[in-house]
Amino acid sequence: MGRVKAIKAIKLLSLIVISGTFFVLSSSWRSPVIALPPPEDTPEEILRTKIIIEARSPIDGKSLTAAEYIQLQAQLQLAPPPKLDPKIREQIFLLRIRKTLLQFFPFLNF
């Protein structure tokens, strides 16, 4: 019985030594910090202070100058886009209710 205990003790000791060695070696193999952005990337603080002089049209996505963008925004505020016909609005509402009901009750076939 003494020999079995000695073998178990040797196995346990070797397991502890191998685990400790692996832990020490793996902690020393650290790669460079991955969380940092690449050096050529412009920091966000600098980008926040940059004055934007170009814009895109919300209608068709064309490039606009700052003055053209302001004029377009003023025109959109004066003449907002036309509203939907109440019948179409009601149909959309009913379709959304139907879609929600079909998610909860997929066996309904209406």
In a domain, residue 16? The reply is yes
pLDDT digits (tens, 9 = 90+) for 1-10: 678 888 888 8
Structure tokens at 95: 């379709």
In a domain, residue 61? The reply is no
pLDDT digits (tens, 9 = 90+) for 60-110: 888 888 888 888 888 888 877 677 889 999 999 999 999 999 988 888 776
In a domain, residue 23? The reply is yes
pTM exceeds 0.75, yes or no: no
- Domain count within the chain: 1
> Residue 14 belongs to what domain range?
1-30
Query: How many whole angstroms separate alpha carbon 63 and alpha carbon 72?
Result: 12
